[in-house]
Chain A
Amino acid sequence: MAQTHEPPHIRLANEIAVQFRHRDPDIAAKEIAVHIQAFWDPRMRTKLVIDAADPASGLDPVAVAAAALLTPPR
C-alpha cells in the first residue's frame, strides 16, 4: 500500500503553510519562517531552502516565501 512520496520537509512545510492561508501572505511567510526557525533541525531547513528554489518542488508559495526568510544555521 503506497504512502505519499512527498519528501518530509516539503510535506511538513506545506502543512504549516495551509494553517496560515487566512493571513496576509507576507505576514504568513514571516510567521511560518519564525516557526520553522524555532522548531526545525538545521538539516531540514537546509533542504527546504534548497527545494524552495525549485519551482517543481511542490512547495506552497507561502512556504517558498518563508524559506527565503530563514537564516542559515549558526
Chain B
Amino acid sequence: MSLIKEQDYGTPAKPGEATVAVEIDGKSVLVPEGTSVMRAAAEAGIEIPKLCATDNLDPFGSCRLCLVDIDGRKGSPASCTTPVAPGMKVRTQTPELAELRRGVMELYISDHPLDCLTCPTNGDCELQDMAGVVGLRDVRYGYAGENHLDLETDSSNPYFDFDSSKCIACSRCVRACGEVQGTFALTIEGRGFDSRVAAGAGGSFMESDCVSCGACVQACPTATLQERSVVELGMPNRSVLTTCAYCGVGCSFKAELRGDEVVRMVPYKDGGANEGHSCVKGRFAFGYASHPDRQLKPMMRERITDEWHEVEWEEAIGYVGRRMMEIQTRHGMGAIGGISSSRCTNEEVYVVQKMVRAAFGNNNVDTCARVCHSPTGYGLKQTYGTSAGTQDFKSVDKADVILVIGANPTDAHPVFGSRIKRRLRQGAKLIVADPRRIDLVRSPHIEAQHHLRVMPGSNVALINAMAHVVVTEGLVDREFVAERCEDFDQWEAFISGSEHSPEAVEEITGVPAAEVRAATRLYAGARNATIMYGLGVTEHSQGSTMVMGMANLAMATGNIGREGVGVNPLRGQNNVQGSCDMGSFPHELPGYRHVSDDAVRTAFETLWGRTLQSEPGLRIPNMFDAAIDGTFRALFVHGEDIVQSDPNTKHVTSALEAMDLVVVQDLFLNETSKYAHVFLPGTSFLEKDGTFTNAERRINRVRPVMAPKTGKHEWQIVCEIAQAMGYPMKYDDSAQIMDEIAITTPTFSGVSFAKLDEVGSVQWPCNDAAPEGTPIMHIEGFVRGKGKFVETLYVPTKERSTRKFPLILTTGRILSQYNVGAQTRRTGNSAWHPEDLLEMHPHDAEVRGIGDGDTVSLASRIGETSLRVKIDDRMPVGVVYTTFHHPVTGANVVTTEHSDWATNCPEYKVTAVQVALKQPVTAQSAQTRAVPAMAE
C-alpha cells in the first residue's frame, strides 16, 4: 500500500442539503448554503491553490493564493472566505489570477530557505507544491534582503522541531491549536514583518501550555513544525490504517512507514472517533513497541526466586498446559483461571475466555475492566438493559448542556476532550462534578457554569439531590417517563424524601445546596443534556449505585434516545468495552449473557464441543482471596500488570506468592512478572491483527504494520495452550475468530473484517436489524423494553478520614502517561511526567510544613510510600491526588480492599491517608529536579 493522502477541501463542510447551484470553470456543482467557493470547487474536482486554508480549520483568508474571479463582483476575492451564492459563476484560472498568485509566491519564497533538496519535507511540502502549481520560476526581489533565515530552531519538544526560519506565518498552527485542540497555546506575536509564531508568552514549546497533540505539526504546510522522526528517518513511503492502543477514544491513525519501520503516526481524517485529531500518546508515543526492554522470547523458572531462562515456544506452552492440568488434578477444576486484557484485541480476548471456559473447564475468567468500569456494565444493564454507553462521540455536538462527572477528559480522553471544548466554545453549557478543579472547569474560552466540588465518596448523595430537585421542582419529563419507563412512581416517592434534598446532603457532599439546585435546573431545562462520566464515578464503594443514579436522572428528564443526550462512560483503556463485550466477566458469556442461561450455554457448547459450567467463576479480587485461602493455585495473566494496577499491593503479591503457577503474557517484564513462573512475550498493537471496540461501541480494525516480533500472534499462543491441555482450538487467522464472534454474539452478527474494511468502522449492535451499526441506542425503546428506575440509597463508604489518617487520597491519570506506564514510560512522554507527584492544597501543605517539591511519606492503614509534592489549589482542602504511572511510587501500596458492592470494582477514589514531610527539597535538588509542569 502506498501513502494514504486524504483530500483537503480547503474549508470545513457545511451541514444541510446541497441546494445552492454554482458554476466553477464551467462545471456545475450543488453544495449546501454557506459552503466556500474553495470547497465547492474542490467538490467539483477543481483545486484552487492555497496555503493558509485546510478543511479542519475555519477559513482565514491570509495567504492570498486562492484568489478567484466571480462574475459581477469587483476584484479577486479569496475563495476560502467567500461563500457560494445561487447562480454564482466563478473562474479559478485566468492569466491575471496566475500573475497575482506568482507575485504572492515570490514574496513567500524571497524569505524562505532554498534548501528543498535537504529539507525533511522535500516532496511533502505545500509551499513547494504551490510554487510548482503557480509556475514560479524566478524571484525578482532576490534573497539578500531582510529575512528570517537566521531564526533559531526550538527543539524543546521531544517529538517535533519548530524551525521558525521556514515559517510563512499562515497561522494554520495557531488556529489548529485553538480550533481543533482547544488549548490556545500558540499565537502570532509581532506585527508586519516581525510577525512570528510564538508558544505561550514567547518561551519554548515545552515551557508553554502546549499539550503536544500534534495538531500544529499536522497543519503546518511547510517544514516549520516537523516530526523529528521524519527528520531522522526520512519521509515514509507507505501507510497502514490502524487504531490507537491507548485510551477508550480509539482514534484511527495512518501508521506511516519506510519498509517495516514506523516513521510517524498521523491521525486519519475519516476515523469515526477522532476525525483527524490526536493526542500526545497516540500521535507520538509509539516508540515502546520497538524499545530494547521488550522481551521477545518465552522464559521460565521453577521458583519466583530463580533467574529467568529463555526457552522455545514449544517448551513454554507445553509446560503451561501440563502444569495447569496437574494443578487441576490435585486441587480441582476451579483451582486455575485467567485474566484477559483490555489492551488486547477482541479476537485475543475472545480466545482467552474461550480457553478458560472450554479448556480450563470453569468460569474463572475476569478482565481488568473489573477495576475500572465493571459498575458501568452492572448499572446500565440494570436500568437500560445493555452494558454500554448510549451515544456516539459526535452526539455531543448537539448537546446544549454537558454534565461531566468524575472524569477528566482533557487528560484521560484528550481527543474527545477537545471535542467537548469545541462544543462549549459554540455555546453549550458545562457542569463539572469533581473534587478537583479539572482543566475543563476553566481554560481558555471555557468556563463551567457550575463546578460541583463533590467530596470523594459522596457521588450518590449528589446525584440523588439532583434527582430530588427534578422531581420536587416539576422538572420531570412526564410524557417520556410514562411512555418509556417503569417503576417511576416507587422511585419518585423514594427520591422525593427530604433526606435527599440538596440542603440535607450539603454537609455530606460539600456542595452548596443552591449550587446543586441551579445546576440541576440547567441540566433538566436544556433541550439536550448529556452526561459524560469516568472512573470518578465507578471506582467507589457505590460505583454501580451512582451509575444507576445517573441513568435515573437522564430518564427522568427525557434525556435518552436521540442526539445530544445520553449517559456515556468514558472508557479507560482502548478495548475495555470490547473485552467486556467478549465475555470476559466470570458470570457472562460473550454478548453479556449469563452463564446460567441454558439456551445460550447450549449454543456455545454445541460450537465449542465442551460442556460449560453454569455457575459464575471468581472475580479478580476473589481469585486473590481464594489464592490466599489455598483453593486457587494458578493464573494466566494476559497483558495486565495487576501488582501495580490493583489495590492493596501487598494483598495482591501475597496471593501471587501463594500460587503454584503464574503465567504472564506481556510486552515487558513488569511488577507482576516478578511473581511469575512463565513469561510469554506479547505483541504490540503494531503487530496485532484484529479489532478494538471503543467507548462509543465503535468496532475499529487494528491492522498489523509488521509481523509479530515474537514469531507468534497472541491468539495463536492462547490456542496452543488450550491444545496443550487437550482442547482442540485452532484458527487460520484472526478474521476467522471474528466470524465465530459474529455467529455466537447477536450484537456482532453483522460484523466481519470484510465489512470493516468496506465501511471503516461500525458501532454495535450491528446485525440484520441495524446492518450499518447503531450510533445511538434506545431510540424507540430501551434494550430491556422499559427503562427501569432504581432506588439509589446513599450509603457512606466505610473508608473514613480519622485523626490518624485525616486526608482523603484519590488517584487518577495524567495526559502524558497511561495507566501503569509500561508503554508511555518507555517513550519521550516522560519528559512531561517523570514521576508520580502528590497534588495537595496549599493549606494542607502549610499546616504540615511541606513545600512544593518536598518528598513526603503517604501512609494509609494498608501501607506507605513516598513521593514528591506538587502544591496546587485545584485540590480541595482535605483531599490529595496522585497518579499510578510509576512502579517506584507504587500508589496502590496504600489503596484498600474496599470495593463497589455490586461488582467489586476497587474504591481507588477514597483512601484515608496521612502525609508527612520526609525530605525537604534542597536548593541543589530543586535546580536539578525541578517539579515539571503538569501537562493538563
Residues of A in contact with B (beta carbons under 8 Å apart): 1-4, 8, 11-12, 15-16, 18-23, 35, 38-44, 73-74
Interface: B328 (CB within 8 A): no
A39 near B541: Cβ-Cβ < 8 Å: no
Residues of B in contact with A (beta carbons under 8 Å apart): 334, 364, 494, 541-542, 545, 586-587, 594, 596, 614-619, 621-622, 625-626, 631, 648, 651, 791, 793, 795, 798, 859-864, 896-897, 899, 901-904
| Residue among B542, B587, B863, B901 with max Cβ neighbours from chain A (10 Å) | B901
Q: Hey, which chain A residues are within 8 Å of B795, CB to CB?
A: 18-19, 21
- With A8-B622, A41-B617, A43-B334 known to touch, is A16 a contact of B901 (CB < 8 Å)? yes
Q: Hey, which chain A residues are within 8 Å of B621, CB to CB?
A: 8
Q: Hey, which chain A residues are within 8 Å of B901, CB to CB?
A: 12, 15-16, 18-19
Q: Hey, which chain A residues are within 8 Å of B494, CB to CB?
A: 22
Q: How far is the CB of B822 from chain A (nearest CB, A)?
A: 28
Q: Hey, which chain B residues are within 8 Å of A19, CB to CB?
A: 542, 545, 793, 795, 901-902
Q: How far is the CB of B728 from chain A (nearest CB, A)?
A: 26
Closest partner residue, chain B, to A36 (CB atom): B616
A15 near B541: Cβ-Cβ < 8 Å: yes
Give the complex CA separation of A23 and B617 in angstroms.
Answer: 29
Our count of residue pairs bridging A and B at CB distance below 8 angstroms stands at: 72
Give the complex CA separation of A40 and B617 in angstroms.
Answer: 7
B862 near A8: Cβ-Cβ < 8 Å: no
Q: Hey, which chain B residues are within 8 Å of A18, CB to CB?
A: 795, 901
Give the complex CA separation of A51 and B626 in angstroms.
Answer: 16
Q: Hey, which chain B residues are within 8 Å of A22, CB to CB?
A: 494, 791, 793
A38 near B897: Cβ-Cβ < 8 Å: no
- With A12-B904, A41-B616, A43-B631 known to touch, is A3 a contact of B793 (CB < 8 Å)? no
Q: Hey, which chain A residues are within 8 Å of B651, CB to CB?
A: 3
Give the complex CA separation of A28 and B394 in angstroms.
Answer: 41
Q: A3-B648, A22-B494, A41-B626 are in contact. List 4 more A-B contacts (CB 8 A).
A: A1-B860, A15-B541, A19-B901, A40-B622
Give the complex CA separation of A19 and B648 in angstroms.
Answer: 24
Q: Hey, which chain B residues are within 8 Å of A73, CB to CB?
A: 615
| Residue among A11, A21, A39 with max Cβ neighbours from chain B (10 Å) | A39
- With A39-B616, A41-B618 known to touch, is A1 a contact of B862 (CB < 8 Å)? yes
Of the candidates A21, A23, A40, which one forms a contact with B616 in the assembled complex, judged by CB atoms under 8 Å apart? Answer: A40
B594 near A38: Cβ-Cβ < 8 Å: yes
Q: Hey, which chain A residues are within 8 Å of B617, CB to CB?
A: 41
Q: Hey, which chain B residues are within 8 Å of A41, CB to CB?
A: 334, 364, 586, 615-619, 622, 626
Q: Hey, which chain B residues are within 8 Å of A21, CB to CB?
A: 793, 795
Q: Hey, which chain A residues are within 8 Å of B616, CB to CB?
A: 38-41
A3 near B861: Cβ-Cβ < 8 Å: yes
Give the complex CA separation of A39 and B467 in angstroms.
Answer: 29
Closest partner residue, chain B, to A42 (CB atom): B615
Q: Hey, which chain A residues are within 8 Å of B860, CB to CB?
A: 1
Give the complex CA separation of A1 and B541 in angstroms.
Answer: 22
Q: How far is the CB of A44 from chain B (nearest CB, A)?
A: 6
A-B contact pairs, 14 of them (CB 8 A): A1-B864, A8-B621, A12-B901, A15-B901, A18-B901, A19-B902, A20-B793, A21-B795, A22-B793, A38-B596, A41-B334, A41-B615, A43-B626, A74-B615
Q: How far is the CB of B566 from chain A (nearest CB, A)?
A: 26
- With A41-B618, A42-B615, A43-B631 known to touch, is A35 a contact of B861 (CB < 8 Å)? no
Closest partner residue, chain A, to B585 (CB atom): A39
- With A22-B791, A38-B594 known to touch, is A3 a contact of B626 (CB < 8 Å)? no
Q: Hey, which chain A residues are within 8 Å of B904, CB to CB?
A: 12
Q: Hey, which chain A residues are within 8 Å of B619, CB to CB?
A: 39, 41
Q: Hey, which chain A residues are within 8 Å of B896, CB to CB?
A: 3
| Residue among B542, B615, B903 with max Cβ neighbours from chain A (10 Å) | B615
Q: How far is the CB of A39 from chain B (nearest CB, A)?
A: 5
Q: Hey, which chain B residues are within 8 Å of A12, CB to CB?
A: 901, 904
Give the complex CA separation of A72 and B390 in angstroms.
Answer: 37
Give the complex CA separation of A42 and B613 in angstroms.
Answer: 11
B631 near A38: Cβ-Cβ < 8 Å: no
Q: How far is the CB of B881 from chain A (nearest CB, A)?
A: 21
Q: How far is the CB of A13 from chain B (nearest CB, A)?
A: 10
Q: Hey, which chain B residues are within 8 Å of A15, CB to CB?
A: 541, 798, 899, 901
Q: Hey, which chain A residues are within 8 Å of B614, CB to CB?
A: 74
Give the complex CA separation of A73 and B363 in angstroms.
Answer: 13
Closest partner residue, chain A, to B900 (CB atom): A15
Q: Hey, which chain B residues are within 8 Å of A4, CB to CB?
A: 897
Q: How far is the CB of A21 from chain B (nearest CB, A)?
A: 7
B626 near A38: Cβ-Cβ < 8 Å: no
Q: How far is the CB of A6 from chain B (nearest CB, A)?
A: 10
Q: How far is the CB of A24 from chain B (nearest CB, A)?
A: 12
Q: How far is the CB of A36 from chain B (nearest CB, A)?
A: 10
Q: Hey, which chain A residues are within 8 Å of B791, CB to CB?
A: 22-23
Q: How far is the CB of B884 from chain A (nearest CB, A)?
A: 19
Q: Hey, which chain B residues are within 8 Å of A38, CB to CB?
A: 587, 594, 596, 616
Q: Hey, which chain A residues are within 8 Å of B541, CB to CB?
A: 15
A35 near B902: Cβ-Cβ < 8 Å: yes
Closest partner residue, chain B, to A4 (CB atom): B897
Q: How far is the CB of A52 from chain B (nearest CB, A)?
A: 18
Give the complex CA separation of A42 and B795 in angstroms.
Answer: 27
Give the complex CA separation of A8 and B862 in angstroms.
Answer: 16
Closest partner residue, chain A, to B621 (CB atom): A8
Q: Hey, which chain A residues are within 8 Å of B793, CB to CB?
A: 19-22
Give the complex CA separation of A21 and B791 in angstroms.
Answer: 11
A16 near B862: Cβ-Cβ < 8 Å: no
Q: Hey, which chain B residues are within 8 Å of A39, CB to CB?
A: 587, 616, 619, 902-903
Q: How far is the CB of A25 from chain B (nearest CB, A)?
A: 14
Closest partner residue, chain A, to B332 (CB atom): A43
Give the complex CA separation of A19 and B901 in angstroms.
Answer: 8
Q: Hey, which chain B residues are within 8 Å of A43, CB to CB?
A: 334, 626, 631
Closest partner residue, chain B, to A43 (CB atom): B631
Cβ-closest 5 pairs across A and B: A8-B625, A15-B901, A41-B618, A22-B793, A42-B615
Give the complex CA separation of A58 and B717 in angstroms.
Answer: 46
Q: How far is the CB of A7 from chain B (nearest CB, A)?
A: 8
Closest partner residue, chain B, to A45 (CB atom): B615
A2 near B861: Cβ-Cβ < 8 Å: yes
Q: Hey, which chain B residues are within 8 Å of A16, CB to CB?
A: 901-902
A3 near B862: Cβ-Cβ < 8 Å: yes
Closest partner residue, chain A, to B334 (CB atom): A43
Q: Hey, which chain A residues are within 8 Å of B622, CB to CB?
A: 8, 40-41, 44
Q: Hey, which chain A residues are within 8 Å of B542, CB to CB?
A: 19
Q: Hey, which chain A residues are within 8 Å of B364, CB to CB?
A: 41
Closest partner residue, chain A, to B793 (CB atom): A22
Q: Hey, which chain A residues are within 8 Å of B859, CB to CB?
A: 1
Closest partner residue, chain B, to A21 (CB atom): B793
Q: Hey, which chain A residues are within 8 Å of B798, CB to CB?
A: 15
Closest partner residue, chain B, to A17 (CB atom): B901
Give the complex CA separation of A14 and B902 in angstroms.
Answer: 11
Closest partner residue, chain B, to A74 (CB atom): B614
Give the complex CA separation of A39 and B366 in angstroms.
Answer: 12
Give the complex CA separation of A43 and B618 in angstroms.
Answer: 9
Q: How far is the CB of B525 from chain A (nearest CB, A)?
A: 30
Q: How far is the CB of B202 from chain A (nearest CB, A)?
A: 50
Give the complex CA separation of A1 and B861 in angstroms.
Answer: 5
Q: How far is the CB of A16 from chain B (nearest CB, A)?
A: 5
Q: Hey, which chain A residues are within 8 Å of B899, CB to CB?
A: 15
Closest partner residue, chain A, to B798 (CB atom): A15
Q: How far is the CB of B705 from chain A (nearest CB, A)?
A: 41
Give the complex CA separation of A1 and B862 in angstroms.
Answer: 6
Q: Hey, which chain A residues are within 8 Å of B626, CB to CB?
A: 41, 43
Closest partner residue, chain A, to B863 (CB atom): A1
Give the complex CA separation of A39 and B586 in angstroms.
Answer: 8
Closest partner residue, chain B, to A40 (CB atom): B616
Q: Hey, which chain A residues are within 8 Å of B596, CB to CB?
A: 38
Q: Hey, which chain B residues are within 8 Å of A20, CB to CB?
A: 793
Q: Hey, which chain A residues are within 8 Å of B625, CB to CB?
A: 8
Closest partner residue, chain B, to A23 (CB atom): B791
Q: Hey, which chain B residues are within 8 Å of A23, CB to CB?
A: 791
Q: How far is the CB of A27 from chain B (nearest CB, A)?
A: 11
